[in-house]
């Protein structure tokens, strides 16, 4: 939540909807977790005309574009399932816009989805994470990566894996 939104909410007395508060909480939890894993935080909530990226990190010589999905329950479907083909296209286009702002550096990129599952129906005290899969390998961390458009570009479409 930016300063203007905080001031507006304070003076109008309108609280943010629960799903937005939960999403912000999930982004904070994911950011903290990825930093602990040694990734360098670059920016949050990058927006372009073609999409939005929740978090951008540097992992060595690779840029990681991270979509965060926060849920209080897996009762219906895994959070990552909400990232459908259209959402993946928008994320990919936003990533290209981000790279364009950096003058198109020669850099490896990857796309991760971090699932934040809030224990106890929405408690911030005990968030849990799913598995992290990157380039088809399960890493010894507790996150999830669902697609790699660079790997599926040869197939002419973006597909989900993991």
**Most confident residue range from 47-51, 83-87, 107-111, 154-158:** 47-51
Region class of 148: left (phi > 0), else alpha (psi between -120 and 50), else beta? beta
- In the chain, % of residues over pLDDT 70: 65
Determine contact, residues 89/95, Cβ cutoff 8 Å: no
Q: What are the structural domain ranges in the chain?
A: 20-155
Length reported for the chain? 162
Q: Which CATH architecture has domain 20-155?
A: 3-Layer(aba) Sandwich (3.40)
pLDDT over 50 at 131, yes or no: no
pLDDT over 50 at 138, yes or no: no
Determine contact, residues 68/23, Cβ cutoff 8 Å: yes
Is residue 17 packed enough to be buried (19+ CB in 10 Å), middle (13-18) or exposed (0-12)? Answer: exposed
Comparing 5 with 157, the larger pLDDT belongs to 5
Q: Model pTM?
A: 0.71
What is the rounded average pLDDT of the residues 112-141? 58
pLDDT at 90: 93
What is the rounded average pLDDT of the residues 91-106? 93
First to last CA, the chain: 32
Other CB atoms within 10 Å distance of the CB of residue 46? 18
- Torsion of the alpha carbons at 106, 84, 74 and 42, rounded to the nearest 10: 20
**Strand pairing of 133-134 and 127-129?**
unpaired
Secondary structure of the chain in the HEC alphabet? CCHHHHHHHHHHCCCCCHHHHHHHHHHHHHHHHHHHCCCEEEEEEEEECCEEEEEEEEECCEEEEEEEEEECCCCCCCHHHHCCHHHHHHHHHHHHHHHHHCCCCCCEEEEEEEEEEEHHHCCCCCEEECCCEECCEECCCCCECCCCHHHHHHHCCCCCCC
């Amino acid at each position: 939540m930016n300063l203007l939104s905080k001031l507006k909410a304070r003076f109008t007395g309108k609280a943010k909807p629960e799903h937005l508060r939960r999403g912000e909480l999930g982004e904070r939890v994911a950011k903290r977790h990825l930093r602990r894993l040694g990734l360098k935080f670059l920016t949050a909530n990058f927006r372009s005309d073609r999409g939005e990226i929740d978090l951008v990190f540097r992992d060595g010589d690779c840029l990681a574009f991270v979509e965060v999905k926060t849920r209080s329950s897996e009762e219906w479907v895994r959070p990552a399932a909400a990232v459908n083909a259209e959402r993946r296209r928008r994320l990919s286009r936003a990533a290209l816009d981000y790279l364009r702002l950096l003058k198109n550096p020669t850099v490896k990129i990857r796309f991760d989805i971090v699932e934040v599952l809030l224990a106890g129906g929405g408690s911030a005290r005990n968030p849990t994470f799913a598995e992290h899969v990157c380039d088809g390998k399960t890493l010894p961390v507790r996150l999830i990566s669902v697609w790699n458009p660079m790997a599926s570009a040869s197939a002419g479409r973006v597909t989900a894996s993991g």
